[in-house]
Amino acid sequence: MAYAYDDQNIFAKILRGEIPNTTVLETEHTLAFRDIEPQAPVHVLIIPKGAYVSYDHFAATASDAEIIDYTRAIAKVCEIEGVKPDSAEGYRLISNAGVHGVQDVPHLHVHILGGRRMGRMVPPAT
Ligand code: AMP
């Protein structure tokens, strides 16, 4: 079954400039901005500008240019935020997808979390 993209999701509205964001980085195909409810001292969301629902959707169907731009933007955000483990204390990268992934916003995003030691990778189910 093909992915259906809901263009009324909150990140689509951010990309259209309909609601504000605190931008960390913008490139040709990617936007990175601070999470509105940060779970750690560093909490940045990185989204492609294209209409992709989840990481697998993006990885399977985005252009090479989009994938390269997005991947490099992740590296750049880690550098900007000072969380690279070669020179700082590291980070956690999370991308939730679908119901079991507990994805709230149906536009691909990765979370970069850092600035504190994270807890268990997967907490017990609630
Ligand atoms: P997920 O559960 O992986 O879909 O995460 C969605 C994330 O989007 C949550 O961490 C929210 O705090 C964040 N979020 C929702 N609305 C906004 C917004 N307007 N600006 C920045 N982050 C947002």
Per-residue pLDDT tens over the stretch 73-118: 999 999 999 999 999 999 999 999 999 999 999 999 999 999 999 9
The number of distinct structural domains making up the chain is 1
Mean pLDDT of 26-53: 98
Residue 71 lies in a domain: yes
Q: Residue whose CA is closest, atom 12 of ligand 1?
A: 37
Active site residue 107: no
Contact residues of ligand 1, CB 6 A cut-off: 10, 19, 21, 35-37, 45, 96, 102-105
User: Per the domain annotation, does 10 fall within a domain?
Assistant: no
Question: Among residues 43, 57, 107, 109, which one is catalytic?
Answer: 109
Q: Is residue 33 part of a domain?
A: yes
Look up the domain containing 33 and give its range.
25-39+52-90+100-116
Q: Is residue 80 part of a domain?
A: yes
Quick one: tokens of 27?
């490139």
CA distance 93 to 112: 5
- 122 within a domain of the structure (yes/no): no
Q: How far is the CA of 9 from the centre of ligand 1 (A)?
A: 11
pLDDT for 121 equals 86
pTM here is 0.97
Buried-state track 86-119, b at ≥16 Cβ within 10 A, e below 16: eeeeebbeeeeeeeeeebebbbbbbbbbbeeeee
Determine, yes or no, domain membership for 45: no
